[in-house]
Amino acid sequence: MASSHRKPRSAGSRIAGIWTPADDGGPRLGEVEKKIDDLYRRADSAAERGDGARRAWKINSARKKPSSFTATPHDHYDQAQLMSRLTAGRKDAVAAHLTKRSTTTGIRQQAAMSLRAPDGTQSDPRTAKATVQKKLSAARALLSQSAARTGRQEAAALARQAVAFARAQVGKPYVWGAAGPGSYDCSGLTQAAWKAAGVTLPRATTAQASAGTTIPLADAQPGDLVFFHDDSSHVGVYVGDGMMIHAPKPGTGVREESIHYGGTSAIHSVVRPA
């Protein structure tokens, strides 16, 4: 091989990792071969590998004649072109590395910024506590509103059941002290109506007047109880539109009529049982 023709290493300079000739002699053949082979292994593109294969043929020819390793103008052109390509490749690799590192750094910075709350909750425990308390208060308010809405819906459903029951009793006779199912007095009817909805009311009229929430007459809704006279001695089931169902007095039957049948002054109060 070329080892018998090697000379001591001469002074020179490096270009892209290859020794260039110095003033006192040419490059060592084995060193040039090693560097070129290494550069071939680093080539990535198919075109460059193809070019490398053609140049490898020339190098193999040179290996057979190490003593005649004299660079021709054409060989200088090929080597210069190879080094230019590989140098460009290295530049691209470095640029890609720097770009990747810059991108990674940017992502890390963005992640850090995203973790830093704009209101300073990450750095100020007092602010963080206040923020949490504010959110908890808002959540409790929402739950309260939801519960209230659900409660109103359930109460309305119960009221509809009470009204439906009362309406089904229309025409049945009034009998003092009766609570159904064949006859009713006023408080017996209201008690039975709300019992059908699952709500237990006292038997006496005056007791029923305290068995719920008192509301303004203008806010009366179906199912509410309307009481009459100063002593709340009479009661009917409000069904809407100023109408009620009640058992008025002996000799009459359960019927539906205006809450103003005895005059507006006769109305004492309105109570919502549910």
From the candidates 74, 76, 97, 186, give the one annotated as an active-site residue: 186
Instruction: In whole angstroms, give the CA distance from residue 29 to residue 54.
Output: 18
Q: pTM of whole model > 0.75?
A: no
What tokens appear for 78 in the block? 């090929």
From the candidates 74, 76, 229, 234, give the one annotated as an active-site residue: 234
For residue 11, name the pLDDT band (cuts at 50, 70, 90).
very low
Number of Cβ within a 10 Å radius of residue 6: 13
What tokens appear for 226 in the block? 């309307």
Give the tens place of pLDDT for each residue, 63-104.
555 444 444 555 555 555 555 554 555 555 545 554 555 555
Over residues 130-135, mean pLDDT = 83
234 assigned to active site? yes
At residue 184, φ and ψ (nearest 5 deg) are: -150, 155
Predicted confidence at residue 110, as pLDDT, reads 53
From the candidates 229, 246, 260, 268, give the one annotated as an active-site residue: 246
What contacts 112, CB < 8 A, 6 or more positions away? Answer: none
Give per-residue burial for 222-233: e unless 16+ CB within 10 Å, then b.
bbbbbbbeeebe
What tokens appear for 76 in the block? 């200088």
Q: What is the average pLDDT score of the chain?
A: 74
pLDDT exceeds 70 at position 246: yes
Pick the more confident residue, 152 or 9: 152
Closest CA to 245 of 201, 189, 200, 191: 189
Instruction: In whole angstroms, give the CA distance from residue 224 to residue 244.
Output: 9
Q: Going edge to edge, which strands form the sheet with 255-258? A: 213-215, 267-272, 225-228, 234-240, 243-246, 255-258
3-state secondary structure of 91: helix
At residue 235, φ and ψ (nearest 5 deg) are: -150, 145
Give the tens place of pLDDT for each residue, 191-235.
999 999 999 999 999 999 999 999 999 999 999 999 999 999 999
Give the tens place of pLDDT for each residue, 17-34.
444 444 445 445 555 555
Q: How far is CA 126 from the centre of its chain?
A: 27
Instruction: In whole angstroms, give the CA distance from residue 18 to residue 258.
Output: 112
Predicted confidence at residue 2, as pLDDT, reads 42
Cα distances from 105 to residues 50, 74, 87, 100, 180, in angstroms, run 38, 46, 27, 8, 83
268 assigned to active site? no
What contacts 35, CB < 8 A, 6 or more positions away? Answer: 17, 18, 19
229 assigned to active site? no
Number of Cβ within a 10 Å radius of residue 218: 6
Predicted confidence at residue 83, as pLDDT, reads 53
Cα distances from 74 to residues 63, 135, 189, 211, in angstroms, run 17, 79, 119, 113
Instruction: In whole angstroms, give the CA distance from residue 243 to residue 257.
Output: 5
Pick the more confident residue, 172 or 55: 172
pLDDT exceeds 90 at position 146: no
**Widest CA span of the chain, in angstroms?**
142
